[in-house]
Amino acid sequence: MSEYRADFPILNQTVNDEPLVYLDNAATAQKPRAVVQAITNYYYHDNANVHRGVHTLAERATQEFEAVRDKVAKFINAPSREEIVYTKGTTEGLNWVAASYGSTHVKAGDEIVISYLEHHSNLVPWQQLAKKTGAILKYIDLLPDGELDLTSARRQITDKTAIVSLTQASNVLGVVNPIKKIAALAHQHGAIMVVDGAQSTPHFKVDVQAMDADFYAFSGHKLMAPTGIGVLWGKSELLADMPPLEFGGEMIDWVQLQKTTFKAAPWKFEGGTQNIAGVIGLGAAIDYLSAIGMDRVQKHEQQLVNYLLPALLEIPGVTVYGPHDPAKHSGVISFNLAGLHPHDVATALDMEGVAVRAGHHCAQPLMEWLKVAATARASLYLYNNLADAQKLVEAIKATKEFFNHGTI
C-alpha cells in the first residue's frame, strides 16, 4: 500500500540519521493528513460545545459529533447507533463494564473468566470487581504456541460464570482468538461476552453481531484517530440496565433537589463536555479506513507477516513468541535476542532508525507464562512496506553482530 505512505508526513523523516521505520503500531498508529485536517477544520470553523446550543456553530458541531456514531455503528456492524458510547479508550470502556454492569450483576461466588493473554486493562478491572464482590477470577490456559486452549475454556466456563472477557487479538503474541466460539460457550452457561478490540479493530473487519459479543471496546488512537477517544459498544438491553458512572451536565433528564433522572443510553454515560475534536477525528479515521477497505488492510499486513515472521525465525539467537505459522499471526510479533535485554535491543534498533516497543507490554501475567521479564515487539500497519520489514531484519542482525563483536 505504498500509495498511502504519502498521507503520513511523520514517516518522511530521519531518526539518528536513518530513515524512520515505524513499527510500534500496537502502541499507537500514525495519523493521516485527513484526520489532522478534520480536527483542524473543527477548531477553525465549528468549535462549539455540542447538544447545548441553538446557534449555528453549536448545531454544526453537534451534527458532526453525532454523525460519527453512525459511522462507528456501520464500521463494527452494530445494530443501532444508540449502542455506541464514546469513551476515552479501551481501558475506560472495559472499566465501565466492570464497574457498572459488574457492580449490579456479579455477586459472591460468581465466576469471571479471562485468559493469560490479557492486557492489564482487561485484567485489573476484573481483579478489582472480584475483590469487591467476592467473585472468583479464573484464567483460560494457553497452548504451547500461545493460542487459546479451547479445552481449558470449556473447563473454566461453567454455570457459575457471570462474565467472560477476552482480547480479540493479543498485543503480545499476535494470536487472534475465536471469539464467536467462546461467546457461544459463555451464552450456553448464561454468561455475557466482553471483548477487548484494541488490537483487532484497526487491522481487520469487525462484526460485533457475527461474533455475538455483548460488549466490545476499542481505542481510536490505534486506528489513526487522536488519543483520548474510544468506543464502548454494548447490546441495547444491557446498556439500558447499566447505571451511569459519572454525573453532571448533559447526561441528566431532570434534576430536582432530592432526585435526578437520567437520559437513555448512550447519552447517560457521556456526562460533561466530551472530546468533540477526538470524536470528529475518529470519524475521519473511519472514513479513511473504509475508503481503503479493511479486507485490503488485513491482506497487506498478512503479506508482510508472511515475510517477516519466517525471516526472524531464521536469525540464530532470535526467539519469537506466539505461533510460528504466519497464517495464525496478526501483525504483532514479539521476540528476544539471546543475551540482550529487550530495552537494549530496542535502543540499538532505534539507532538504525527502527522504532519498536520493549517491555512487558502491560501483560505481566503473560510474561510470567512465557517465563521472560520482557520482550521486544514489532507491530505492522497499512503504511508499512516490505522495505520496512527488511530493514528490521537487517537491523536485528546488525545489533547481534555489534554486541557479539563490538562492531557494526
Domain assignment of residue 322, given as a range: 2-30+293-405
3-state secondary structure of 18: strand
Eight-class DSSP state of 148: B
Q: Which CATH number belongs to the domain containing residue 300 in this structure?
A: 3.90.1150.10
Nine cell digits for residue 389: 520489514
**pLDDT, mean of residues 251-277:** 96
176: three-class secondary structure by DSSP: strand
Judge if the upstream peptide bond of residue 19 is cis by omega within 30 degrees of 0. no
* All cell numbers assigned to 163: 462474565
264 and 284 share a domain? yes
Q: Which residues participate in catalysis according to the annotation?
A: 362
Question: Looking at the structure, do residues 116 and 227 belong to the same domain, yes or no?
Answer: yes
pLDDT in tens, 10-68: 999 999 999 999 999 999 999 999 999 999 999 999 999 999 889 999 999 999 999 99
pLDDT tens per residue, range 157-188: 999 999 999 999 999 999 999 999 999 999 99
pLDDT of residue 405: 65
List, in order, residues 6 or more apart from 381 with CB less than 8 Å away. 25, 29, 30, 202, 203, 301, 331
Rounded CA-CA distance 335/132 in Å is: 37
**What letter does residue 254 receive in the DSSP assignment?**
E
pLDDT given for residue 408 in this prediction? 41
- Tens of pLDDT, residues 329-346: 999 999 999 999 999 999
CATH of the domain at 215: 3.40.640.10
Q: 158 and 273: one domain?
A: yes
pLDDT at 259 over 80: yes
pLDDT tens sequence across 203-220 = 999 999 999 999 999 999
Three-state DSSP state, 260: strand
pLDDT at 229 over 90: yes
Contact 322, 148 (CB under 8 A): no
pLDDT tens-digit series, residues 80-138: 999 999 999 999 999 999 999 999 999 999 999 999 999 999 999 999 999 999 999 99
Q: Is 149 found in the same domain as 202? A: yes
3-class DSSP state for residue 192? Answer: strand
The CA-atom distances, in angstroms, between 90 and each of 56, 206, 333, 339, 377 are 33, 15, 21, 35, 20
* Number of domains comprising the chain: 2
List the beta strands (DSSP E) in 66-108: 84-87
Convert the pLDDT of each residue in 272-312 to its tens digit: 999 999 999 999 999 999 999 999 999 999 999 999 999 99
Asked which of 234, 269, 291 is the last residue of a domain, the reply is: 291
